[in-house]
Amino acid sequence: MSDEMTPIVEPSADEQLAKELVERARSEGVQLVGPGGLLSDLTKTVLETALEVEMEDHLGYPKHAPQGRDKGNSRNGTRSKTVLTEVGEVGIDVPRDREGSFEPQIVKKRQRRLSGVDELVISLAAKGLTTGEIAAHFADVYGAEVSRDTISRITDRVLEEMVAWQSRPLDEVYPVVFIDAIQVKIRDGQVANRPVYTVVGVTVDGMRDVIGLWVGDGGEGAKYWHQVLSEIRNRGVNDVLFLVCDGLRGLVESIADVWPLAIVQTCVLHLVRNTFRYASKAHWYELARDLRTVYTAATEQAARERFDEFANKWGERYPAIIRLWENAWAEFVPFLAYNPEIRKVIYSTNAIESVHARLRRSVRARGHFPTEQAAMKCLYLAVRSLDPTGRGQQRWSTRWKPALNAFAVTFEGRIDNNVN
């Protein structure tokens, strides 16, 4: 038998308190949260104790101390108020002074919610809950009434933060920038689908950076894209190696003006999906198999030869498909000139799809938005909560290392000085 003994780990004060609360709740048959819950009582005690400490600091002596009798300012009882906390509504007694000069900071005058409640509301909104669903959540879980109007005002507080986020400084170089859109219903006289363009950059450290969101009207051209890209450049982006998109009209010309060295790559997956729009479902599998020989070819010349074979086979039945690929050819072939590590990451806009999945979930819960600003607020809240733990960014960085090494070799001098 080993002489070594397993050390006994004493529970922390927080763990001990948690266990005591759970045991008390079980023995007394009461809830932890909600009206009359143990956490509500504990919150009340903590807040009132903190307010008493603030009053002591304000007056300069503790409660019941003799130096406070019949001289200067002194205590003048308490006033009752109800505040909404993370554990529900809590009634507290706020101490008063005779001169009325006491300005509490823990729970300020006229404050009806603790700051944690606002963060909770914003977090729930970011996860796609509507104002009605958030109000119902507070009623069901905490027994507290929070109006939809109050919830809307709380989430409106992120608008200033959103403006700052949309204009924040960016990195000097992005190896790859992805642009894609989701459709959002916005009521402007009448409800209509409006594209919201998401621009995502991958940094030289392999981190995903949501550069910004831009609302369009569906008829965007070179002028619109020149304005968007110039805005990004003015925020500090001096160079982009690849810009991956889905054949957005006017974008190619605008990129040439803003970042002359950038290479525009159409999303191959989008191109394949668009192919299926013109074909019978019965032929999808065979079309996909034949097109795979085109976009996996070793060189552009080989891809051209495979496409000519594809055109000979399918051109008579589906001329629109041949025309689709011919029109996109100039933006389709650039990635064929690079090694597999680079091809893999610029082959599609999949890097942006996980972002859009979260955005669509938030949008779907609301149906449509009364204004463009309301839509942008909803989408920003979703972006804000994409990776709360940071583990997603770490996975991104790991996956992108092979491609970043290939970029550093292929584009020597353009990103080397920006790698941390």
Tens digit of pLDDT for each residue in 254-282?
Answer: 998 999 999 999 888 889 999 999 999 99
In the prediction, which pLDDT does 326 show?
94
Beta strands at 239-245 and 208-215: parallel, antiparallel or unpaired: unpaired
Quick one: what percent of the chain has pLDDT higher than 90? 30
Mean pLDDT of 163-180: 93
Is the pLDDT confidence value at 42 over 70? no
Is the pLDDT confidence value at 1 over 50? no
In the prediction, which pLDDT does 12 show?
55
Least confident of 149-153, 313-317, 352-356: 149-153
Share of the chain residues as helix, strand and coil, in percent rounded to the nearest 5: 55, 15, 30
Is the pLDDT confidence value at 48 over 80? no
In the prediction, which pLDDT does 241 show?
93
Is the pLDDT confidence value at 22 over 80? no
User: pLDDT tens digits for 101-130?
Assistant: 888 777 778 777 766 767 777 777 777 777
Helix (H, G, I), strand (E, B) or coil at 369: strand
In the prediction, which pLDDT does 198 show?
94
In the prediction, which pLDDT does 119 show?
76
Higher confidence at residue 31 or residue 152? 152
**Confidence class of residue 350 from pLDDT cuts 50, 70 and 90?**
confident
Is the pLDDT confidence value at 63 over 90? no
- State how far the Cα of 216 lies from the Cα of 278, in Å rounded to an integer: 26
Tokens of 323: 């025309």
Mean pLDDT of 284-305: 93
Q: Give the chain's mean pLDDT.
A: 82
What lies within 8 Å, CB to CB, of 124 at 6+ separation is: 133, 134, 137
In the prediction, which pLDDT does 45 show?
72
- State how far the Cα of 20 lies from the Cα of 66, in Å rounded to an integer: 37
**Helix axis angle, 148-156 to 372-384, nearest 10°:** 70
In the prediction, which pLDDT does 31 show?
62
In the prediction, which pLDDT does 288 show?
94
Is the pLDDT confidence value at 56 over 70? yes
Mean pLDDT of 204-209: 89
User: pLDDT tens digits for 230-251?
Assistant: 999 999 999 999 999 887 888 8
Cα-to-chain-centroid distance, residue 232: 19
In the prediction, which pLDDT does 418 show?
55
Q: Which residues, listed in sequence order, are joined to residue 173 by a DSSP beta bridge?
A: 239
In the prediction, which pLDDT does 80 show?
84
**Confidence class of residue 20 from pLDDT cuts 50, 70 and 90?**
low
Mean pLDDT of 3-28: 58
Mean pLDDT of 282-301: 93
Any idea which residue has 């982009």 for tokens?
240
Least confident of 201-210, 261-270, 396-405: 396-405
E-only strand ranges, 37-100: 75-85, 88-97
Q: Of 71-75, 190-194, 280-284, which has the strongest mean pLDDT?
A: 280-284
**Confidence class of residue 378 from pLDDT cuts 50, 70 and 90?**
confident
Is the pLDDT confidence value at 307 over 90? yes
Q: Which of 328, 263, 264 is nearest to 291 (CA)?
A: 328
